[in-house]
Amino acid sequence: MNRSIILTTVLPLFMLLTGCDWLLEPEPSQSVSEQVALSTDANVKSILNGAYSLFNEPGIYGGNILRNAELLAGNGELLWVNEETYYEPFEFFTKTISADNSEVFTQWRESYRVINTVNNVLSALDVVKKADRGWVEGEALFLRALIYFDLVRFFALPYEPGALNNQYGVPLILKPIREISDEVYTGRNTVEEVYNQIIKDLVAAADRLPDDNWIFATRGAANALLARVYLQKGDYDNARKAADAVISSGKYNLLPVYASIFNQYEPTKEDIFVAKISYPTEYNAMTVSFSTSSFGGNGFIEILDGHLNIYPKEDKRAELFYTGDGALRCGKWNNLYGCVNLIRLAEMFLIRAECNLRLGPPYVGAGPVDDYNAVHTRAGLPAAGSVSLDELILERRRELAFEGHRIHDIKRLKQNIGPWNYKNPKLVFPIPAREILNNPALQSQQNEGYR
């Protein structure tokens, strides 16, 4: 498959087709008509490449989606400093988010720009070469599913297994929007409807995507995200099957040295999907917040002993923490232009282990203790003869620390963050005030605590 990114072609085309500041005000019209932009195979592929460029923006998968998840979960394990200058991330940390928080608005706006871009791609599949149509569609569906998964996890109350899940989710936009009119103003679908669409998109994506696709979405990425989605909704059987499909594919390997996964310019064999930062137009926003000035960061996030204490003395993962600029830092994010690790193989072993342990034999793939040990011994710890659910959850917490998982695990496990229980409205982002003001369909649908 011949795949290249030509930015001089990508930028004018995809900016044309993302011309709504998410249903607020249209940007100036471009010199190329929409019909021309979507009329050829090359142009549609350029629009798809443009979606990845937008996907990598610092406000979303360039890092801040992961950072904000960690700040929202932070309680005794990390500290946001310099709140006087950068007070909006501080609102996540203190659970005092305002409806006009610009970080919240940026995630909403940039997410729906990606969605609108891939919806344009999906609307023009007929002009794509037949041989390439499957992977083009698969990549667009994968990106849409990942965006919607994070939107519904941040902006809605958590999915409750066995319940109706008719609480407000987010607006499901499945067709391209190219101009403002009354009919494009859309209210919020339910959480159940959003999850159903995510799964539908990912099942189709896994069927269409190739196994190898460099930094772009693959079959493995679609199955890995499916495993994460099923785990979040408590569908343990489907979660372990999807995780097993990734592990048994043989396309990915756990690296022998934990530290070598991070701060890389190219994806490693353990990475299933990354945001590949392109110097000098993009930067790793996780590095900006977590790292020190010597690595190009601002040192906004300090790690506290409350987190360091969860590691046994021999755990090599604790060696990634270091003292810099007078505080303890997380060494996973020390490359301003390195990849942002979004999905990696260790998570799949931990998902399969947890689900197999919850459901019992016959196991899918290896048994829980074997999957646990694959991750556990890589960290320099002795192999276990058996494993409990609590031990598995703690292992997941150590292995995936400061990679954007903590708040979502707290919610699915129905835990507390200090005085806030897992479905406290303060742990849910508000629908941005600008959206509420400009979209009549949303004006009665603001989240509790922000109305």
Q: What is the pLDDT of residues 270-301, one digit of tens each?
A: 999 999 998 888 899 999 999 999 999 999 99
Residues (pLDDT < 50) of the chain are 4-11, 22-32
Query: What's residue 75's pLDDT?
Result: 87
Where do runs of H (alpha helix) occur along 233-274? 236-248
Tens digits of residue pLDDT in 122-135: 999 999 999 999 99
Query: What's residue 417's pLDDT?
Result: 95
The rounded distance, in Å, linking the Cα atoms of 43 and 47 is 6
Contacts of 90 (CB under 8 A, 6+ apart): 80, 83
Contacts of 292 (CB under 8 A, 6+ apart): 299, 324, 325, 329
Query: What's residue 280's pLDDT?
Result: 82
- Please give the class, per CATH, of domain 7-442: mainly alpha
Tokens of 430: 């508000």
Q: Is the distance from CB of 165 to CB of 159 less than 8 angstroms?
A: yes
For residue 219, give the H/E element and its range.
helix 219-232
Tell me which residue of 262, 265, 223 sits closest to 246, measured CA to CA. 223
CB atoms within 10 A of CB 431: 25
Query: What's residue 324's pLDDT?
Result: 95
Query: What's residue 350's pLDDT?
Result: 98
Query: What's residue 2's pLDDT?
Result: 54
Q: Is the distance from CB of 362 to CB of 244 less than 8 angstroms?
A: no
Query: What's residue 15's pLDDT?
Result: 52
Query: What's residue 146's pLDDT?
Result: 98
Q: Is the distance from CB of 408 to CB of 382 less than 8 angstroms?
A: no
